[in-house]
Amino acid sequence: MPIVRLRSTDMMTVAAQLRRSVERAPEFFRRAPVVIDVSALPDEAEINLAYLLGQLQQMGMIPVALRGGGPALRELAAAQRLALLADAPVPETRVTETSSPPPPPSPPPPSKAMLVTQPVRSGQRIYARGSDLVVLAAVGYGAEIMADGHIHVYGTLRGRALAGVHGDKGCRIFCRDLQAELVSIAGHYRISEDLDEAVRGRTVQVYMRDTALIIEAF
Amino acid sequence: MARIIVVTSGKGGVGKTTTAASLAMGLALRGNRTAVIDFDVGLRNLDLIMGCERRVVYDFVNVINQEAHLRQALIRDKRCEDLYILPASQTRDKEALTKEGVGRVLEEMSEEFDYVICDSPAGIEKGAFLAMYYADDAIVVSNPEVSSVRDADRMIGILSSKSRRAELGEEPIKEHLLLTRYDPKRVERGEMLSVDDVLEILALPLLGVIPESQAVLNASNEGIPVILDEKSNAGQAYRDAVARYLGEDLPQRFIRPERKGLIGRLFGG
Amino acid sequence: MGLLSYFRSARPKSAQVAKERLQILVAHERQMRDAPSYLPQMQRELLAVIRKYVHVNDDAISIQMEQDDNHEILEVNIVLPEDGAGRTKTPELRGN
């Protein structure tokens, strides 16, 4: 379940950030139940809950629960028929995080790219955390390579390649022979079936231009 | 409420995925809203047999882990609009499946579909266990061959003792036998167990006999469930099996060798 | 019976052999299936105890649980190794 984690009491800013997240993946949020998590804020923080709920609903989400918050806020939430969750951290499924500007700091700049010299086979998953990924061999069907930075594949790319998995839209994928099942930059993806035949089997780069994923042959 | 059907066998390579794909297609072609789930996490194949491997974005494990919604992961078949495929994850292992997670997803699917078909992995480990745990019906697939029959019997024992229905003391899972890769000529020569031999040992109602057929390999090569190959014996046999599952009473058609004219009749005995 | 079928039936058909093997095996396995789950462990432990005194093979011990309406019979069958005289002792323990 998506969790909206508040880092700011400025609901206008929060709503604006949320709207940007939703625009990126409208299907994902449509009629999605969401938890509002205020546990990162001090208990006495003043939050315009009614405004936030209205905004979430306008964006198509269904607010279902509140996590954290002081007694006053929790009472308010209960009155709005939200479930009250214990003030425990939830790892894993968080999909959107909102905070006051500036936006969340990106991971520290990579010192060096991760280098893979062996073929990546079906079922294998390689993740270059906080860096670029360079694969010198082929990436087979059913294999998955991911990087927080750019991805370079010098063999045939038949599996899945996901660059900028932490949301950096400036990341790119470079590959010598594109046969991929899926390519993705910062969560924007294209699957094999939707690949233009003009780029299949070609040497390409994949990048974002505004909100569009561009696959371009060299 | 959907009827949950597990296609299972114990032994690998007997035709579970081929069967799951064809039964799902057959039920959907008759207008039933049908979904078929690949439980073989780490070794997915259903997407290939269904010909939708190029459309996989999210998978069963993503849905269980709530990383994706069910509707994002379901792939709608291009040939039949009532059929959906939920692929397995290739990069995870079967530990990624949990009883609670599978139960939750099946419950959600139950509300949208008439039939949910669970394509079990081979073996009797976690994936196979979870594929059958919530089932209402089981289709036990076996070849007329000793190791496959023995494993089928083992699986029948597990179905009747380890399923949720067994645990809750409800009406047991309804079991059906589907005999695949049947070669009537070899049966006639006494080189292969006959339908009756297998039925005598396993004592399950017979859903159908699928003859050994080149059409099955051709179909999987092309990513088309063999039931869509209406000219092939195997395709017709699957159609009959679907009809029988839905309650029609049809004779078994492909259990005797085809006679080829007078010469065949004279020497075939 | 014609000449052809005479030759055909000269030795048992492999399918017939398969069926008979399966019938025996499946019957055996079904019996094991209903048996209590501690049986294999008990079998291993018994074997360990016996081995303190006599050297026996892994398959020298067989345990079966039989059940009828009123009582259960636990049958433990231990085959001791043949001694110099070629005798085989097969003591049988039975208990309810």
Reported as a single tens digit per residue, the pLDDT across B215-233 is 999 999 999 999 999 999 9
Q: Which residue in chain B is spatially nearest to C4 when comparing CA positions?
A: B269
Instruction: Give the C-alpha separation, B28 to B50, whole Å.
Output: 13
Q: Is the pLDDT of residue A49 over 90?
A: no
pLDDT band at A104; cut points 50, 70, 90: low
pLDDT tens figures, A138-169: 999 999 999 999 999 999 999 999 999 999 99
Residue C85's pLDDT is: 40
Model pLDDT, residue A206: 96
Q: How many CB pairs under 8 A join B and C?
A: 46
> Residue A102: is the preceding peptide bond cis (ω within 30°)?
yes
Around C18, how many Cα atoms within 13 Å sit in the side-chain half-sphere?
Answer: 20
Query: In chain C, whose CA is at the least distance from the CA of B194?
Result: C15
Q: Kindly tell me if the per-residue pLDDT of A91 is higher than 50.
A: no
Question: pLDDT truncated to tens, each residue of chain C (96 aa)?
Answer: 455 555 555 567 899 999 999 998 888 888 777 777 788 788 888 888 888 888 888 878 887 777 777 787 888 888 887 764 444 445 555 544
Tell me, what's the pLDDT at B269?
Answer: 42
| Domain spans in chain A, listed from the N-terminal domain onward | 3-85, 114-217
Q: B183: closest CA among B239, B144, B150?
A: B144
Residue ranges of alpha helices (H) inside C2-91 are: 3-8, 14-34, 39-51
Instruction: Measure CB to CB from residue A93 to each of B42, B43, B67 and give the nearest one.
Output: B67
Give chain C positions within 8 Å (CB) of B193: 15, 18-19, 22
Q: Which fold has domain A3-85?
A: Alpha-Beta Plaits (3.30.70)
| Terminal-residue alpha carbon distance, chain C | 54
Q: What average pLDDT score do residues B62-71 get?
A: 94
Residue with tokens 């006494």: B190
pLDDT of B22 higher than 90: yes
State how far the Cα of A32 lies from the Cα of A4, in Å rounded to an integer.
12
Question: Distance between CA A26 and CA A187 in Å, rounded?
Answer: 12
The total number of residues written for chain C in this structure? 96
In A, which residues are within 8 Å of B69 by CB distance? 28, 32
Q: Which residues of A touch B90 (CB under 8 A)?
A: 122-123, 142-144
User: Which residue of chain B is at minimal alpha-carbon distance from C34?
Assistant: B157
B247 close to B174: Cβ distance less than 8 angstroms: no
pLDDT at A40 over 90: no
pLDDT tens profile B148-196: 999 999 999 999 999 999 999 999 999 999 999 999 999 999 999 999 9
Among the residue ranges A96-100, A158-162, A168-172, B59-63, the one predicted with the least confidence is A96-100
Query: What class has domain A114-217?
Result: mainly beta
C19 touches B at CB < 8 Å = yes
SS3 state at B9: coil
The type of residue at C52 is K
For residue A141, give the amino acid letter. Answer: Y
CB-count exposure of residue A46 (10 Å: 0-12, 13-18, 19+): exposed
B155 contacts B9 by C-beta, under 8 angstroms: yes
Mean pLDDT of A173-195: 94
**Whole-number pLDDT of residue A106:** 62
In this prediction, residue A125 has a pLDDT band, given cuts at 50, 70 and 90, of very high
Total count of residues recorded for chain B: 269
Cβ neighbors of B41 (< 8 A, separation 6 or more) are: B60, B61, B88, B89, B92, B93, B94, B96, B97, B121, B127
Taking CA atoms, B199 is separated from A104, B245, C13, C15, C65, in Å, by: 65, 17, 19, 14, 27
b or e along B145-179 (b: 16 or more beta carbons within 10 Å of the residue's beta carbon)?
A: bbebbbbbbbbbbbbeeebbbeeeeeeebbbbbbb
For residue C86, the model assigns a pLDDT of: 40
pTM exceeding the 0.80 threshold for the entire prediction: no
